[in-house]
């Protein structure tokens, strides 16, 4: 199970190439905000798509999604099959974003509504990055190192750092070097390289894992039809029971099928997906770095194809790991994942992917896959570091210091990144107490996504909604999300903490996160419409070109000239692949 010399050579070669690419980009940099935050708006479609994919496919997938596959089979594949959301970005939102020439998503909101809405969304986004992307990325880096190098320790005199903390800190330092110095250009180009390494490495895990298990047929036989049933959360046997608040145990929890209720998957998951892929600075910033609408659209379509891969290179390996343990073919994995009574230890499932790496891969190949693991961890963190610094610098600092020089803007962005990392480190103990990394991530995103989704989609499709309605929806939705997080956090953080059964706080804590997310969405939708129509309409001259109803003939002509039959055909092929996946995974 130890690393061979060839593995270390491969890993060292990976770091050398990544740092070399990062240094090459740094040497070409210009000390301007446009170059640092948007790569000079000169990224190609391949780099844009690969960068979007690499930023998305990070720690929560390597550790959390594989762990979900180990415990629940293909249930979480619904989120990965939301690759169609990238088509919405490509065809619906890219034209508006490229036409407005904005640096950030909150800046677009300012153009559409008001300056205050820009600040509110920036604050919400920064909080979301702390609660999810930064802390989860650091945490997963520790999980990977803790599994691969469990004996690693560092004695500082006043405390001893185990492999978990050493791994977390190493990922931050190595990623921060080229991110802080090179900006989005360094992030995008290194992510394009890391995408190649990640995909190759993850495919090798799937191939060697199936070989160790005995093939695809053995996987289906050992895992069982339930783990291959993508439709179970969507089509329950008894629909009426979905509405029943009381389970057999008497607990009031609006669950169905134990983990993923069909109503939540059907209605909540698309809301979170569209918010993430179409309006989140973390993702859209790559498209903003394109020179024109055609390049941004094709980069988004290319990313949508890459987004299909996690079903097969993360979820399936998680199921393979479960099957190897269940069948007893690999004692090491069985001892970690199952207790003495033969029951799966859910908390240990987060180690599924690195466990496969350490047990089924030969020397040399293991080094390639570990390089892929590190690539995903580093690319995900690099993306959120750059997005965070862009939001803080362009949406807050530049407003308070409108005469700041280009050099000052870049310097402030670097300082902002450092502060966000420190806050993320403080939040890690909360994540360690959650039942699963991917569950934690989806829960927090589900609370923060609905108000942002509402203001962007309503803002583009309904010209009558105004700044007052936007602010009201953001404040109400954000408040509802924070209330739920405040209620959930003590339960996650403290082992012996619980609310009195039947109390209001207990009911709130036990209401399934997707249903609570739907409640936030419905409330925010009602708020933005009621407040907007109860107050004066916006100036349609001010929002010209920012909604479908205010597009000019010239706007439509330029947008139509930016695509052809190739873009349409590729989009249709992607939708066909998604439909095929739903047809195959029927249990």
For residue 450, what pLDDT is reported?
Answer: 93
CA 379 to CA 368: how far, in whole Å?
16
Strand partners, 416: none
Which H or E run includes 160? strand 160-162
For residue 541, what pLDDT is reported?
Answer: 86
For residue 470, what pLDDT is reported?
Answer: 95
Residues 308-365 pLDDT 10s: 988 888 889 889 988 888 887 877 788 888 877 777 777 777 778 878 888 888 888 8
CA 419 to CA 149: how far, in whole Å?
29
Of all residues in the chain, the percent with pLDDT exceeding 90 is 20
For residue 93, what pLDDT is reported?
Answer: 93
CATH architecture of the domain with range 5-238+279-439+567-584: Up-down Bundle (1.20)
* Model confidence at 486: pLDDT above 60: yes
- Closest CA relative to residue 115, chosen from 396, 511, 440: 396
The ranges assigned to domains in the chain are: 5-238+279-439+567-584
Q: Which residues contact 117 (CB under 8 A, 6 or more apart)?
A: 106, 109, 110, 455, 467, 470, 471, 474
CA 383 to CA 381: how far, in whole Å?
5
CA 560 to CA 562: how far, in whole Å?
5
Which H or E run includes 209? helix 163-213
Residues 144-180 pLDDT 10s: 777 666 776 777 776 677 777 777 777 777 777 777 7
Of all residues in the chain, the percent with pLDDT exceeding 70 is 85
For residue 30, what pLDDT is reported?
Answer: 65
Radius of gyration of the chain (CA): 23
Between the alpha carbon of residue 175 and those of residues 43, 54, 198, 316, 369, the distances in Å are 21, 13, 16, 28, 18
Residues 205-238 pLDDT 10s: 889 888 888 888 888 888 888 888 877 655 444 4
For residue 439, what pLDDT is reported?
Answer: 60
For residue 456, what pLDDT is reported?
Answer: 94
Between the alpha carbon of residue 180 and those of residues 55, 410, 433, 496, the distances in Å are 16, 9, 31, 41
Q: Is the separation of the CB atoms in 450 and 273 below 8 Å?
A: no
* Model confidence at 94: pLDDT above 70: yes
For residue 233, what pLDDT is reported?
Answer: 57
Which of 242-246, 355-359, 426-430, 579-583 is the least confident region? 242-246
Residues 517-534 pLDDT 10s: 899 999 999 999 999 999
Produce one character per residue of 245-273: b if its CB has 16 or more CB atoms within 10 Å, e if not.
eeeeeeeebbbbbebbbbbbbebbbbbbb
SS3 per residue for 470-500:
HHHHHHHHHHHHHHHHHHHHHHHHCCCCCCC
Number of H helices, E strands in the chain: 30, 2
For residue 567, what pLDDT is reported?
Answer: 94
CA 275 to CA 286: how far, in whole Å?
16
For residue 441, what pLDDT is reported?
Answer: 65
């Amino acid at each position: 199970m130890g690393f061979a010399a060839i593995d270390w050579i491969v890993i060292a070669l990976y770091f050398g190439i990544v740092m070399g690419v990062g240094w090459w980009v740094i040497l070409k940099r210009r000390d301007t905000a446009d170059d640092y935050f948007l790569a000079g708006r000169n990224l190609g479609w391949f780099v844009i798509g690969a960068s979007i994919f690499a930023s998305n496919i990070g720690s929560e997938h390597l550790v959390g999604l594989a762990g979900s596959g180990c415990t629940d089979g293909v249930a979480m594949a619904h989120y990965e099959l939301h690759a169609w959301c990238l088509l919405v970005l490509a065809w619906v939102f890219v034209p508006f974003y490229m036409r407005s020439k904005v640096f950030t998503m909150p800046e677009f909101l300012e153009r559409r509504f008001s300056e205050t809405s820009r600040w509110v969304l920036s604050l919400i986004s920064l909080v979301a990055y702390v609660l999810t992307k930064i802390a989860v990325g650091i945490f997963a880096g520790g999980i990977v190192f803790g599994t691969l190098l469990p004996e690693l320790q560092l004695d500082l005199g006043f405390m001893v750092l185990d492999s978990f903390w050493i791994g977390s800190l190493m990922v931050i330092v190595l990623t921060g070097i080229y991110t802080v110095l090179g900006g989005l250009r360094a992030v995008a180009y290194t992510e394009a390289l890391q995408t190649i390494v990640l995909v190759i490495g993850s495919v090798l895990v799937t191939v060697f894992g199936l070989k160790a298990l005995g093939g695809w047929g053995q996987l289906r036989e050992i895992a069982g039809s339930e783990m291959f049933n993508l439709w179970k959360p969507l089509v329950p046997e008894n629909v009426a029971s979905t509405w029943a608040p009381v389970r057999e145990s008497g607990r009031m929890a609006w669950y169905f099928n134990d983990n993923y209720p069909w109503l939540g998957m059907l209605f909540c998951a698309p809301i979170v997906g569209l918010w993430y892929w179409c309006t989140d600075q973390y993702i859209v910033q790559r498209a903003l770095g394109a020179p024109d609408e055609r390049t941004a659209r094709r980069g988004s379509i290319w990313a949508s194809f890459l987004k299909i891969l996690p079903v097969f290179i993360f979820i399936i390996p998680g199921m393979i790991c479960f099957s190897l343990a269940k069948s007893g073919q690999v004692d090491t994995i069985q001892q970690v994942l199952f207790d003495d009574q033969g029951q799966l230890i859910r908390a240990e499932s987060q180690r599924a992917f690195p466990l496969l790496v350490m047990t089924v891969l030969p020397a040399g190949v293991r080094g390639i896959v570990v390089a892929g693991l590190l690539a995903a961890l580093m690319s995900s963190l690099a993306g959120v570091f750059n997005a965070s610094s862009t939001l803080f610098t362009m949406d807050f600092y530049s407003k308070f210091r409108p005469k700041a020089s280009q050099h000052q803007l870049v310097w402030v962005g670097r300082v902002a990144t450092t502060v966000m990392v420190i806050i993320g480190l403080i939040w890690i103990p909360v994540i360690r107490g959650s039942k699963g990394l991917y569950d934690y991530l989806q829960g927090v995103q589900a609370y923060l996504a609905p108000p942002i989704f509402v203001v962007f989609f309503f803002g583009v499709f309904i010209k009558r909604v105004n700044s007052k309605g936007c602010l009201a929806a953001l404040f109400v939705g954000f408040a509802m999300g924070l209330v739920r997080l405040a209620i959930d956090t003590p339960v996650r953080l403290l082992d012996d903490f619980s609310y009195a059964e039947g109390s209001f706080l207990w009911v709130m804590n036990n209401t399934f996160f997707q249903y609570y997310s739907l409640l936030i969405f419905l409330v925010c939708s009602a708020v933005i419409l009621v407040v907007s129509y109860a107050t004066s309409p916006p100036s349609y001259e001010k929002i010209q070109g920012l909604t479908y109803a205010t597009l000019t003939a010239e706007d439509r002509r330029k947008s139509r000239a930016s695509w052809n039959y190739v873009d349409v055909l590729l989009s249709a092929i992607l939708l066909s692949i998604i439909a095929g996946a739903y047809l195959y995974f029927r249990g």
